[in-house]
Amino acid sequence: MSAAWTISSVREAIAAKKTSAREIATEHYKRIAARNPEINAFLTLCEKRAYAQADRVDAMAAAGKPLPPLAGVPLAIKDTISTRGVRTTCSSKILDNYIPPYDATAVVRLEAAGAVILGKTNCDEFAMGSSTENSAYGPVKNPVAPDRVPGGSSGGSAAAVAADLAVAALGTDTGGSIRQPGALCGLPAMMGSYGRVSRYGLIAFASSLDRIGPLAHNVADVAKVLQIIAGRDPNDSTSTTAPVEDYAAGLAKPVKGMKIGIPKEYFGAGMDAGVREKVEAGIALLRKLGCELMDIHLPHTDYAIATYYIIATAEASSNLARYDGVRFGPRVEGDSLIATYRKTRGAGFGAEVKRRIVLGTYVLSAGYYDAYYLKGQKVRALIAQDFGEAFQKVDVIVTPTSPVPAFKLGERVNDPLQMYLADIYTVTGSLAGLPGISVPCGRIGGKLPVGLQVFGPAFGEARVLQLAHAFEQAGGASL
C-alpha cells in the first residue's frame, strides 16, 4: 500500500477496486498501533464507527455508485471537536469522561462526504499552547524530529498526518494553532476566515477567535477538506452566508502578476537565522513565478501578542466557567459549594489553563475592564484596519509562519513568555479574522521544516490556496 495516501489516490484506488475503504482503514490502524505509542498523536480511537463508514463506502463502490468527494479517506479529528459517542476530552482531566451526545457540524459534513474518522488527536489542554506539551495525557512528539515539539495546539493532528497515521486531519486555530504545527511538522495547514467554517460542536476557548481547519500532505487536499466543511450553518450564528468558491478548481490559475505584500514588521529581531534564510528563498521563488513583490507596513503588529493574550484569556475565563463539577466532568466534593468548585477546578485544570483563566478574570474585573479588555478590542480593530489598508494595494500578504523551527521538548515549558512569542506571526491574522495558510518552505539543515505563511483578505480563501499551491508545485518544500 501507499506510504502516504492522498485524497485522490484513496478515491481512485477504491473506485478501481484495487483496494477497499476497510482495507485502507485497517492499514492506518496498524500504523497507529505501531507508531502512536512513541509520538502520542491519538488519544482515542473509534474503530467501530470508522469501519461502519468504510463499509458504507465499499457498498457504494460495489454497486457502481458515484463516490462522494472524501470516499474512504481516513481522517483524524482534534480532541476539542465534538464527536457523538466518542470521548472528547480537550486533553483535560476535567473532561476525562465526557462523551458528547452530538457531532460537530464539521464532522457531520466530513462523514456525509464519505470520510472515515479514525479517532481523536492530542492537543494542548483546551487548545491553550504552542507546543502540545500542556496536554493532561502527555506531550506529542514531532515525527520529523522526535526530540522536538510538533507545535501547538493542534500538535496531535499535525503529527498524525506527518507520520502517515491519517491522510488529513482537522485542527483548530485561535492564534496559530493550525498553522504553527503545520509549519513545524512540514505540512500545509489552513484556517479559513472567521465564520467560514461552523464552530458548532467546537468546545470553546476564545469564541471570537476559534476556527476549525484542515491539515494535509498537500495544498490540494487542504482545499478539498476546506471545501467540504465550509459554508453557512444555522446552528452557528457567526457562520457566514458568503458563497463558498470551488477551491480545488481555482488552484491551477496562474499567479503571474499577483501582488504580494511583504511586511517589514515580520522580519525583525527574534527570527531564527535558518528560518529567515528559507523564507527569503521562498519569497525569491515567488518572484520567479512572476509575482510582484511590494514592501508594506502593518504598524500595529508590535501590539498583537499583548492584544491577543488579553482578548483570548478574557474569553477563556468566561467560557471555562462552565466546568464546575455540577453538570458534567469529574467532581471533587468540598465542605461547601465554593470549596467544591475550587477543588474540582483545581484538580481538573492544568497549570497553563489556570494561568489563562486568572489572566482573563483579572482583565475583565471591575476597574480593569476599560484599561485592558476594552483597550485590547480597540487595538484589535486597528490591527484589522492595517490589513484592510494593505489589501487595497496587494492581493495577498506573505510572512514567516513561526520565528523558530521546532524547539526541543521541555525547552520552553517553564517560560510562558517565550512560549507565547512562538505565535508572534500568526496571531495578527487571527485577530483580524483573515484566512491564512502555512505551506512548507524548505528544511533547516535538511531536517527541521520551515513554514511560509500566506494571508488573504476576508473570505479570500481561494486566492490564498492558489498562491500556496503554485508555491508548492514550484518546489517550495525543497528550498
Q: Is 177 a catalytic residue?
A: yes
Sign of the dihedral defined by the CA atoms of residues 472, 147, 178, 450, in that order: negative
The whole-angstrom separation of Cα 64 and Cα 210 is 40
Q: Name residue, grid cell 524548505.
A: 442
Angle among Cα 214, 215, 221 to the nearest 5 degrees reads: 80
Task: Please report, for the chain, how many H helices and E strands are present, in that order.
Answer: 15, 11
Whether residue 139 contacts residue 148, with contact meaning beta carbons closer than 8 Å, is answered with: no
Q: Name residue, grid cell 491577543.
A: 308
Marked catalytic residue, from 154, 177, 402, 438: 177
E strand residue ranges, 94-246: 116-121, 168-173, 189-191, 211-216
The whole-angstrom separation of Cα 414 and Cα 1 is 43
Q: Is 9 a catalytic residue?
A: no
The whole-angstrom separation of Cα 203 and Cα 249 is 32
Marked catalytic residue, from 82, 153, 317, 438: 153
Q: Is 438 a catalytic residue?
A: no
The whole-angstrom separation of Cα 206 and Cα 246 is 29
Whether residue 344 contacts residue 332, with contact meaning beta carbons closer than 8 Å, is answered with: yes
Q: Phi-psi category of 40—alpha, beta or left, where left has phi over 0 and alpha has psi -120 to 50?
A: left
The whole-angstrom separation of Cα 437 and Cα 182 is 9
DSSP-assigned letter for residue 373:
I
- 3-state SS, one letter per residue, for 57-110: HHHHHHCCCCCCCCCCCEEEEECCECECCECCCCCCHHHCCCCCCCCCHHHHHH
The whole-angstrom separation of Cα 342 and Cα 456 is 44
The whole-angstrom separation of Cα 314 and Cα 201 is 21
User: All 3 cell numbers of residue 392?
Assistant: 487595497
Amino acid occupying residue 138: G
Short-list 191, 226, 239, 204, CA closest to 427:
191
Marked catalytic residue, from 78, 120, 224, 278: 78
* H or E, element range at 380: helix 375-390
Tell me the backbone φ, ψ of residue 261, rounded to 5 degrees: -90, 135
Tell me the backbone φ, ψ of residue 291, rounded to 5 degrees: -75, 150
* Active site (catalytic) residues: 78, 153, 177
